[in-house]
Structure 1
């Protein structure tokens, strides 16, 4: 009997060690910055790109570098600032997606610049030129975005009118920021393209689609490791709970063919929002592909929405 219990104990210990090891592996895949096999690294600009002119403009336009200190962790964050063609109180803060950078957001910078906005493009912590050893899945970043907004007010004046825009993880972080009481009154609107509801839901979705694994037990184990090492759990990174507290006008954008952050997640966020809102669904567009799919509709929809709140 004792021998049987001993064997059972060893088996349980091996299972625990194995699961912990798997959790560490997925922590490194999901949370530690670095090259990811499931993300394309091809950034070559081609003339066949429907947004070629916007991206080329961004490559060539003069930029100023702004710096900010992260809301937690005392990290130096980096951003590019592009002044509007004419003096204005309007500024758009643009957030990139998972393992992205400000350099990948040129088409969105051009869109808002064409609409007469100053443009600020931060690199999120642990990505681009910003310091950091973990990816915040929007939760850590939400407070950094608020600090960037406050810096805009400090530099551009109390009469600033700010729109917070983001794609994918950046969109989720902006949505999370929308529920914070520290949000400056100068933030007049949000525009979020392809946000996820919670990090837990998104990572569970990726575990299934990319690795063909069930959510339990790896996602909870990885979340616990993330809580200890990065300071947050996947369920804490909750855009759905935050948007329910939001009082600022918000526009949601999603492609109907998005399988990376399912369209249903954006729709759920829209339905939970009590603030003034708008939903743009681009039929057939994949993840953050709505602008490329229907450039004019994308641009005009944003312009029409913001015209109600920013003048």
Structure 2
């Protein structure tokens, strides 16, 4: 075969492979950021899969039905609707059992989750004397839509809930006005990143933040998912991030909690599990180092990307209780 013809075939082979990789990445990005309206369970976490199951996941994409809520909390709640740029959000609002509230804690869940997954945390805040607002972020639970952007557009939901709580003229609920009361934001993973962006770029100013396992940036979290499957991330992780952003109308490489942290002046408690396969120590170190305001951090040994209270209930309550006590 002559050299020019060989080069032409090599070029065609390269273009074919590049096109195939982009097609696969486009498909995976869509499945990752768009929930289906079908019953069933979400695909297991990559680290829980066998080699054959991982290969099948790479070929077919994740199964991603819209997350639904479980049972309501044991304590009484009022179901409210909050207007967000992403559509109507459903939330549960509750007051403590006795006395005037110390303030309000708004809670925001993680990826493929819902407000019902935070009822334990909300119950603890109520026992400390706080009103609580548990929010279904857009696309999740009983809120509008079937799309998630893993923290970017969810920041609009955080800002909408913040403004709703600060609107003392609201008449659709029996909530107490939050004037002269601290408004604290609590977020897990995606919810924590949404809080950081809402403060850094959307101009909200809470009294304090409690953040569990926020990822450092979208590119790194994509690489972490490939690493959890023991598959090289380059170039598919970058293509996945690129197409996910294109499909959802934002620059996904700019979704960066480490950068947002430089604009966070509210007192912040950062919590992380040392065995987390989704969020690395380096990411957590960078976020903590960049936080511009008063800050505290606590690591939970041997815990992965899961609620810390499940293994360290007393320690989790102590860290949060002490942090909030310093805010009074």
- TM value normalised by structure 1: 0.85
The CA RMSD over aligned residues, in Å, is 2.3
The yes-or-no answer on 1:141 pairing with 2:159 is no
2:192 maps to 171
Match of 2:295 in 1: 277
Q: Return the alpha-carbon distance in structure 1 between the equivalents of residues 196 and 254 of structure 2.
A: 14
1:91 counterpart (104, 117, 124): 104
1:213 aligned to which of 231, 247, 254 = 231
| CA–CA distance in structure 2, aligned partners of residues 164 and 109 of structure 1 | 12
Question: 1:125 touches 1:136 (CA, 8 Å); kept in 2?
Answer: no
Measure, in 1, the Cα distance between the counterparts of 2:304 and 2:239.
30
Partner of 2:90: 78
SS in 2 for 1:144: helix
Q: In the aligned structure 1, how far is the partner of 2:204 from the partner of 2:21?
A: 40
1:240-260 deviations in Å (ceiling 9; x for gaps) = 100111111000011122223
Question: Which of the residues 204, 208, 211 maps onto 1:183?
Answer: 204
Assess if the C-alpha contact under 8 Å between 2:103 and 2:178 holds in 1.
no
Structure 1 gaps of 5+ residues are 41-55
CA shift for structure 1 position 58? 5.8
**2:166–2:179 CA contact under 8 A, matched in 1:** yes
> Is 1:38 the counterpart of 2:50 in the alignment?
no
* Bigger mean CA deviation after superposition, 143-152 or 174-183: 174-183
Q: In the alignment, which residue of structure 2 is the partner of 1:201?
A: 220
Residue correspondences, number: 290
TM-score (norm 2): 0.81
Give the ranges of 4+ consecutive aligned residues of structure 1 lying more than 6 Å apart after TM superposition: none
The offset of 1:76, in angstroms, is 1.6
CA separation in 1, counterparts of 2:13 and 2:258? 40
**Counterpart-to-counterpart distance in 2, 1:224 and 1:59:** 39
Contact 1:58 1:110 in 2 (8 A): no
1:57-107, Cα deviation, whole Å (9 max, x unpaired):
963222212222323x4x121111112223325110111111000111111
Aligned counterparts of 2:139 and 2:127: Cα–Cα separation in 1: 30
- Where do 5+ consecutive residues of structure 2 fail to align? 47-69, 169-176
Q: 1:244 aligns with which of 262, 266, 269?
A: 262
> In structure 2, what is the equivalent of residue 13 of structure 1?
15
